Amino acid sequence: MTISSATRPVDVYRTRLGERSQIEPRPHPVVWGKAPAPGPLTGPELAAYDARGYHAQQDVLSDNDIAESSHDARRIADELGDDDRVIREPSNGDVRSLFAAHELSTVVAEICAREDIVGVARQILDDDVYIHQSRINFKPGFSGGPFYWHSDFETWHAEDGMPAPRALSVSLALTPNTPANGPLMIIPGSHRQFVSCVGATPDAYHRESLVSYRPPFGTPDEADVTELADDSGIDSITGPAGSAVFFDSNCMHASSGNISPYPRSNLFVVFNAVSNALVAPFAAATPRPEYLAHRAS
Amino acid sequence: MTISSATRPVDVYRTRLGERSQIEPRPHPVVWGKAPAPGPLTGPELAAYDARGYHAQQDVLSDNDIAESSHDARRIADELGDDDRVIREPSNGDVRSLFAAHELSTVVAEICAREDIVGVARQILDDDVYIHQSRINFKPGFSGGPFYWHSDFETWHAEDGMPAPRALSVSLALTPNTPANGPLMIIPGSHRQFVSCVGATPDAYHRESLVSYRPPFGTPDEADVTELADDSGIDSITGPAGSAVFFDSNCMHASSGNISPYPRSNLFVVFNAVSNALVAPFAAATPRPEYLAHRAS
């Protein structure tokens, strides 16, 4: 695959440079098109998403959805063994993530195609969408590691060549998300700022970054995270199994380690606008593999 | 110091053995004497403490108390350098705990002696009390490690020779305790069960156990923690700076790591009934040092 970057415009999301990090206002919209656009969310829900960067909703998956997708993912991970799409805990080899879940599991594919899931993405992004990435995360009880603060868009822009933050993620809870098991933490409003990260991306960096709780590159400075949190606090997002959180690709987010006895598992799906198709990476020598960053065909 | 164990009665809290762990009902009371005894807590508050194992209260410390005790503790830790009473983060040398805080700081000593603090201990334990241990914990933002599940009494019985769980702790918040910064998690009702731990205690074990997030000894089996949590859930205890949590010495508790930008610091004081004075350790060759387990004089 050859990806030309000869004609690309000036990059307004410069990152992975050898200089001090910066917090810059995001020039692109959050809710695209004319709001309120038709779709599953109400006008007030769209306005709240615009302001805070996320929308949480209960009862999106049924008990049966949860049982079938979890079972399917574990079966597939077992079959795949040490395939690159299976990420394991460094400490004990337990499955931590299964990537390309919508390609590997028809159960997951069907869930992703539902109007109350993909329809929210179309409504907010005001475009047709495709799946940029999907994965099931298994965060086991007692030993699930934390995920340090990051903006997904910073990584997708730098390493995958996603031009603009015209993308969003939905995290579908396969287990309860409680205060005790390391729920998603989002700094509300942070999606309106772009925080650049320091340091050039090494080759094949995803092999390291996917198993490190605090990767050395693509990770914001502590001072920048503090500045964002001082401005608007930190929301911890809890809810029963079957809940969904839709969140902007540029939200600063994290989750703590899980020392509760209970796993925290979720199905994570990223929808990207077809008009925002990937180009060459903005701050890496070669794009990441297809299972981490699908390219619309 | 010579401590005789010739005449001690049969140990009803056997632990650190080379066999499978056990969960046994606790034979001793939680609220001692005739309830409701006179003191700061109301009858319903005492009953709730009896059932759940803890009592939380706001506005126990003033802003001035917090500023003075925090400042005093940092000054003292700086002066002490690498004294054994100062515990540092393995990763970067930051101060994690200052032990014997009530002996080292007159500010802390005055706080510990207040009727709304020590009076609660006297009321619940129905006896005069002395300070078994005190410390200030500094859990820094971004990198504060977790504390794994444990019963304090299990350690104090095994390693310090505390005969019965006629002791309680108070954790006084010097910073806000939020869902994001690794607040105290307690399994309510767990104080009514004694969970034995497997494995003989090594010599001078406190040098390891105080810097490990999940020490190999004095740590309950995952199956036992799961059984307790399945029975009654997990309470995450949050509150503003100045809040207090009084909790029974035998509560199963833990706290997650802190990847928020904000520290979680507290003044932690253990009151033991004078009638429950320490004897020889029940499962260790020699007692821990005085700064970890004061002996009533």
> pLDDT tens-digit profile of A176-230?
999 999 999 999 999 999 999 988 888 887 877 776 777 778 889 999 999 999 9
> Which helix (H) or strand (E) segment is B95 a member of?
strand B95-99
Tokens of B36: 């409701």
Q: Which one of A141, A222, A257 has the shortest CB-CB distance to B256?
A: A257
Cβ–Cβ contact A180 with B under 8 A = yes
Instruction: Supply the pTM of this predicted model.
Output: 0.89
Answer whether B230 sits within 8 Å of A178, measured CB to CB. no
Which spans in chain B are helix H? 43-52, 63-80, 101-104, 106-112, 115-125, 152-155, 206-209, 222-232
Domain ranges of chain A: 30-276
Residue A246, SS3 per DSSP:
strand
CA proximity to A97, closest of A69, A139, A133 = A139
> pLDDT tens-digit profile of A58-91?
999 999 999 999 999 989 999 998 899 998 877 7
State which amino acid sits at residue A62. Answer: S
pLDDT given for residue A200 in this prediction: 83
A-chain residues near B260 (CB < 8 A): 185, 229, 234
Q: Is the pLDDT of residue A1 over 50?
A: no
Say if residues A72 and A101 touch (Cβ distance below 8 Å): no
Q: How does DSSP classify residue B159?
A: I
A-chain residues near B178 (CB < 8 A): 234
State the best of A214, A238, A256, A262 to mutate against chain B, taking most chain B CBs within 10 Å: A256
Say if residues A150 and A14 touch (Cβ distance below 8 Å): no
Cβ–Cβ contact A280 with B under 8 A = no
pLDDT given for residue B277 in this prediction: 96
pLDDT given for residue B2 in this prediction: 47
CB contacts under 8 A, B 204-243 vs A, are 222, 225-226, 229-230, 234, 236
Residue A195, SS3 per DSSP:
strand
Torsion of CA A207, A213, A216, A221, to 10 degrees: 150
pLDDT given for residue B15 in this prediction: 93
Mean pLDDT by 10 residues, chain B (297 residues): 58 86 94 87 96 98 96 92 86 84 96 97 97 91 85 96 97 95 95 92 78 78 95 95 98 92 94 96 91 84
Tokens of A120: 């929210």
Rounded to two decimals, the ipTM of the complex is 0.83
State which amino acid sits at residue A128. Answer: D
Q: How does DSSP classify residue B144?
A: B
Q: How far apart are the first and last CA of chain A?
A: 12
| Alpha carbons A153 and A72: distance in angstroms, whole number | 29
| Alpha carbons B218 and B190: distance in angstroms, whole number | 16
pLDDT given for residue B1 in this prediction: 44
> pLDDT tens-digit profile of A137-175?
888 788 777 889 999 999 999 999 999 999 999 999 999
Q: Is the pLDDT of residue A41 over 60?
A: yes
| Alpha carbons A82 and A95: distance in angstroms, whole number | 10
pLDDT given for residue A32 in this prediction: 96
A-chain residues near B142 (CB < 8 A): 222, 225
pLDDT given for residue A6 in this prediction: 53
Answer whether B229 sits within 8 Å of A178, measured CB to CB. no
Q: Which one of A222, A236, A259 has the shortest CB-CB distance to B254?
A: A259
Answer whether A256 sits within 8 Å of B257, measured CB to CB. yes
Which CATH superfamily hosts domain A30-276? q2cbj1_9rhob like domain (2.60.120.620)
Q: How does DSSP classify residue B192?
A: G
pLDDT given for residue A175 in this prediction: 96
Answer whether A149 sits within 8 Å of B259, measured CB to CB. yes
Helix, strand and coil content of chain A, in percent to the nearest 5, comes to 25, 25, 50
> pLDDT tens-digit profile of A13-38?
999 987 778 899 999 999 998 867 88
